[in-house]
Structure 1
């Protein structure tokens, strides 16, 4: 939304973007819980048998004392630097470099607006790769990083809701509702039709993670996954992390070039290209016999 407002003069884009993000998170949580309830009733889940058997902490949001876990481990001595500050500084460093690099690229190529998210994402991957090569990743705790990310997401949602201009939302109510309805139906189509036919095992768990990711955020997908697969035996995060290597460039291309193409009047290029690629993937699955394999046993 900020990019559309700053570079293309669409001042209402930020409010519409915040509204969409808020609705997406609500759909991810409420819709995900509904899908879990339906799936457990049909016996499609592999690791839980009934929605009523879910632990109390998932119902109330409050963790009992015997199930409370540490938010992370101290990877460095607090006498030199606080471990939380270290992890926060790493994130701030990547974002700072990405911000500087984005401004440099914009100055060199003023006709093209490069989104900060895309640059930060690429730099994050490079930084992570370097850390692994020099074995510095041993001192970066993933749970601490997740907590920082979760905190940032909570603040982002709260600030986003508070900053929404209701008048703008009302003015764009019809197109927003149409987009929301289509987005929900598309996400459900992926969950109910595509997922069972392409995933060879644990299709429900993997499709549910995809539902949370596509409608909300990765954190939403992981939260829903932990409900149906508390111990992550389905290896869903690992599978999606591997798959995202191929997905990441597509995400960056979409975020980078969609506003440019839309501003030039080429509104259908990216949707048509993505649909053709999706159809090609389905065709390859069917040709190789992988489409619907073990579907009957899992359904």
Structure 2
């Protein structure tokens, strides 16, 4: 394939992707039930792409029919298959650019219970997932032990994280892991929205949350630090970005550079820093343990968690040189949100229904176990680990543990619309001490190669110890918070 054909395929792929997103938006408007369920347009668009692809429409028309490949040719679907692995680094790089990074002491003071509770739910999913892989999935269905990492990766990390791990799954001989993970992520969002809404209504009826208007307005300046969701676009009093050297220009006069270009460049720089870190880790591994013990860990580590660390490094530099005031967080959110939408649509549109059908048993077992753990953890552990405003504050961690951070923020707003418990602020601080490790962080990305290198048994011991550490620590450290 020459360059002209390649660019033609990419252009057509993005054009059709845009049509799918528009179709998803129209369907969401026409079907009121989807709005009531807060169903993201990207999920609807991805489902439409899957239905109009070769697996549904193509199967209905037959191999010799006009639409044997569905409405999307193979070269378009090939481009879609590569998009998640590329764009997920942009999404993770956008998590910390333009956000003030407070001190560790302040973050712990404001969000300590959230940190311990969120980690307990996340690491507990590894305990359950690896246990099921060892004692149920492999003996009954012969499923790879690598499936033990899917619960946390899919429910906490979401579609983008799973899609970003596709290369590692394929290299390690578990290609169906991507499809299983995407299926789990979709089930998690649906279950999280439905169960979360039911729990919020139950809490309101039983007096566990107060949905009455707030007595006084919240602190907007504090709220600026609370938005750590990569897709959230919250209208706040953030100044418009200024372009150095543009002072005194008339409104119609050209600026030296468009702000969008600057922000895209910043995200690219963050991803570049992550790539440098990745190459450094690969070099260290090659000269250290890889040649001696045949131990490859960083070889399978994807770029996106390191892009997130690169963004944190870049943000510190921007604050140090005084350029952070020129970064518009809302614009970063727009870029990240568009990238995440394209990841979800392209990933679902190329989802293998055949793989899901062939592995429906493991998918069902993992989904039921993961949802049960999150619900029980929320109702049993949250009141004991977060005794003060436990429901409003724990709702965010429950939402994130079952369907990404965006769902966590949604449940917080439903449970505490006036933010009396300052749950959104605490949830935001918690992300800085949470996402670099799990929920798409370093351990999430390393969990699959670690399972491949060391086996399920040793990994089960490690994650069990870590889970118990967060659980016991949370129960002991914050047992007196209600009185403070």
Fold shared, TM-score > 0.5 on shorter chain: yes
2:338 is aligned to 151
CA distance in 2, matches of 1:207, 1:242: 14
Alignment equivalent of 2:256, drawn from 65, 80, 91: 80
Alignment equivalent of 2:398, drawn from 185, 208, 211: 211
1:54 is aligned to none
Matches within 5 A, 1:37-186: 37-48=201-212, 74-77=240-243, 79-99=255-275, 101-102=277-278, 105-106=281-282, 109=285, 111-112=296-297, 113=299, 114-186=301-373
1:36 maps to 2:197: no
2:416 is aligned to 229
1:270 is aligned to 459
**2:308 touches 2:436 (CA, 8 Å); kept in 1?**
no
Alignment equivalent of 1:279, drawn from 468, 471, 476: 468
**2:383 touches 2:391 (CA, 8 Å); kept in 1?**
yes
Going from structure 1 to structure 2, the CA distance change for 1:258 and 1:162 (only over 3 Å counts) comes to same
Deviation at 1:181, TM superposition (A): 0.8
**2:197 touches 2:411 (CA, 8 Å); kept in 1?**
yes
Alignment equivalent of 1:10, drawn from 174, 186, 208: 174
| Higher Cα Rg, which structure | 2
CA distance in 2, matches of 1:258, 1:105: 16
- Which gives a bigger RCO, structure 1 or 2 (Cα 8 Å, sep 6+)? 2
Deviation at 1:105, TM superposition (A): 4.2
CA distance in 1, matches of 2:463, 2:170: 27
The CA RMSD over aligned residues, in Å, is: 3.0
Deviation at 1:254, TM superposition (A): 2.3
Going from structure 1 to structure 2, the CA distance change for 1:39 and 1:247 (only over 3 Å counts) comes to same
Deviations 1:270-290 (A, max 9, x none): 3433333333344345556x4
Unaligned runs of 5+ in 2: 1-164, 214-233, 244-253, 287-295
CA distance in 2, matches of 1:286, 1:221: 22
Deviation at 1:267, TM superposition (A): 0.9
CA distance in 2, matches of 1:215, 1:48: 27
SS in 1 for 2:479: coil
Q: TM-score, normalised by structure 2?
A: 0.51
Going from structure 1 to structure 2, the CA distance change for 1:102 and 1:153 (only over 3 Å counts) comes to same
CA distance in 2, matches of 1:10, 1:42: 46
SS in 2 for 1:186: helix
Going from structure 1 to structure 2, the CA distance change for 1:79 and 1:70 (only over 3 Å counts) comes to farther
1:197 maps to 2:384: yes
Segment of structure 1 superposing worse, 137-146 or 247-256: 247-256
1:57 is aligned to none
Segment of structure 1 superposing worse, 158-167 or 34-43: 34-43
Deviation at 1:48, TM superposition (A): 4.3
